[in-house]
Amino acid sequence: MSFSTDGALSIDVFHKGVFVPKPLMYFNPDKTSVTEVDLRNMEFKDFKIYIRNLTKGMCHDMYYCLPNRALVDGLRELRDEDDYVRFLDAGYKNGRRISIYIDHDHEPLMQWIEEEIAEDGVYGDSDPSSDDVDLVMSDDISVDHEVDDEVIEIPKSVDPFLSKKNLIPKGGVDEEVDDEVHHFLIHDPDQKWDTMVPVLGMRFSDRYELKQMLTNYVVFKGYALWYEKNDSTRLLVRCCKNKEGKAACPFRLWATPMSSEDSFQIKSLIDEHNCCRQVNLGSIVTYRWIGSLVGHYEKLWDYGAELLRSNPGSTVSIEVNPMPDSTAYFKRMYVCLKGVKDGWIEGCRRVIGVDGCFLKGICRGELLAVVGRDSNNQMYPLAWAVVSVENKETWKWFLDLLLEDIGMGDGRGLTIISDQHKVLVEAVKERAPACEHRQCARHVYANFKKKYTGVEFRKLFWRAAKPTTESAFRSYMREINAMSTHAYDHLMERDPKTWCKAFFELDRCCDAVENGIS
């Protein structure tokens, strides 16, 4: 491979982070930068090895970002020689500097980008300097445009925000206010969000303020509004798009900038609907309206209170870490609904599986879950918790709440299935000492095969895990011992009574040897 461009590149490599969607971003990365790297005679396979050594990790999924673009707009795959050529070309054109992002989790980034473009209308090849970052993709339907500065007669209204403080005095702000008011209303962005409605002639500081008002209107009323035209000079809003891409509801709003002042104004409005309340609010409600993560966490107390109001008898526990500056940070939250725990007590087997998994995204932490088995031996979600970290103290807190909810005390008559996580094993010993604690055979085998590979070892392990008699178990273990005494010793050290069916309690009516449902 050869390139006509001379010189070296400077590369910023972002790695050990996590891609999250809507908006697409790379969260909590490490950054490794190198300068003056001569790549002219380096092929793609050599370049991958170079990046792998640079980041001290695997580089299966690599991406680069076009200069001066957001990730959703400029992220490009770096998979083969052709991508590599385009990557180098982009770097040379950008003053010989470019950024690389490593995806360690094999996320479907291209699918996320397509979904975000479809929802928010960000065109992949658009001009990054465009002033319409909220552009929503729509069919190119011809529209009869209104005259921008037509005289509008404002109808009388009983809307609660039509007070004098929301109107411009006829003589302007420097003149004495009298009983007469300006023809055109000024939108008050500080009014209660569920009182906002579009009014003919209403003026806004810019179109983004108008769009924010429309989003509030949509969420409260349940109308599926969509943008037929949406750019810096016009806004055409319709309701309920049909299969042909046409409006299926009479509602129509047209707004443009005013020529006499720096305001965006609703120039024509048909405020009529023949549609019913929608569950899908269309593309007009985006992540920007939903709010910040801080706002989400502030609502946890309200969420917990609503669960208790609508499900009396449920258990909701929320804990925070207070800081010296009087702020509080989320620590953990536990939920077990009344109807769910009553159903388990009345009709499920006395067998539960517990497990935890990492949460991806901007807010890290772990999700802890308890899954039971109903009378058909099927999955029965019982309780769950979100915690900042998985440790012995967290598991003991979780088990205390759970055992109290299901009335199992010290665990007598209960079977718990889990993986071999040391802190969980210790927590169960302390909080439910009388329970039968089974180890997930799949986890036992996963550790076993790291040392003892091969089809024969796999077959013998699962034969040893599933017999119903001790004699059959010993027979299979003798075969394993004949193949390798170390393999035999490895399995016996894992306490077969916790993962072999032959040793399970007889009154639990569940012969599960693995915890996949959790």
Closest CA to 167 of 139, 201, 144: 201
Q: What is the pLDDT of residue 139?
A: 34
**CA 449 – CA 490 distance, rounded (Å):** 11
Query: Helix, strand, coil proportions of the chain in percent (round to 5)?
Result: 35, 25, 45
Q: Are 37 and 92 in contact (CB under 8 A)?
A: no
Within 174-304, strands assigned E span 181-185, 203-204, 225-231, 234-239, 252-257, 264-270
Q: Is 340 helix (H, G, I), strand (E, B) or coil?
A: helix
User: With helix as H, strand as E and coil as C, how does 82-134 read?
Assistant: HHHHHHHHHHHHCCCEEEEEEECCCCCHHHHHHHHHHHHCCCCCCCCCCCCCC
Predicted TM-score (pTM) of this structure:
0.50
Alpha carbon 163 to its chain's center: 41
Please tell me the number of Cα atoms within 13 Å of 160 on its side-chain side.
6
For the chain, helix (H) and strand (E) counts, in that order, are 15, 21
Residues 6+ positions from 471 with CB-CB distance below 8 Å: none
d(CA 491, CA 76): 48
Q: Which of 388, 362, 366, 365 is nearest to 27 (CA)?
A: 362
Residue 261 has what pLDDT?
80
Exposed e or buried b per residue across 369-405, where buried means at least 16 C-beta atoms within 10 angstroms of its C-beta? bbbbbeeeeeebebbbbbbbebeeebbbbbbbbbbeb
Give Cβ neighbours of residue 197 (< 8 Å, ≥ 6 apart): 159, 217, 271
Per-residue pLDDT at 407: 93
Instruction: Please name the residue that has the structure tokens 């010989």.
Output: 96
pLDDT value for 341? 94
Residues of the chain under the 70 pLDDT cut: 1-7, 40, 58-59, 119-184, 279-282, 287-288, 290, 292-294, 361-362
- How far is the CA of 54 from the CAs of 102, 103, 105, 190, 324, in angstroms? 12, 15, 19, 51, 40
Give CA–CA dist 319/297, Å, rounded: 12
CB atoms within 10 A of CB 436: 21
Cβ atoms of 257 and 263 within 8 Å: the answer is yes
Predicted local distance difference test score (pLDDT) of residue 73: 83
Cα gap 47→312, rounded to integer Å: 60
Of the candidates 488, 484, 486, 483, the residue with the CA atom closest to the CA atom of residue 473: 488
pLDDT digits (tens, 9 = 90+) for 470-497: 999 999 999 999 999 999 999 999 889 8
Residue 72 near residue 24 (C-beta atoms within 8 A): yes
Condensed to tens digits (0 to 9), the pLDDT of residues 54-105 reads: 887 766 789 999 888 888 888 998 888 888 888 888 888 888 889 999 888 7
Query: Using an 8 Å Cβ cutoff, are 422 and 399 in contact?
Result: no
Provide the pLDDT for residue 49: 84
Cβ(225)–Cβ(238) under 8 Å? yes
pLDDT of the residue at 362:
63
101: phi then psi, degrees, rounded to nearest 5: -125, 135
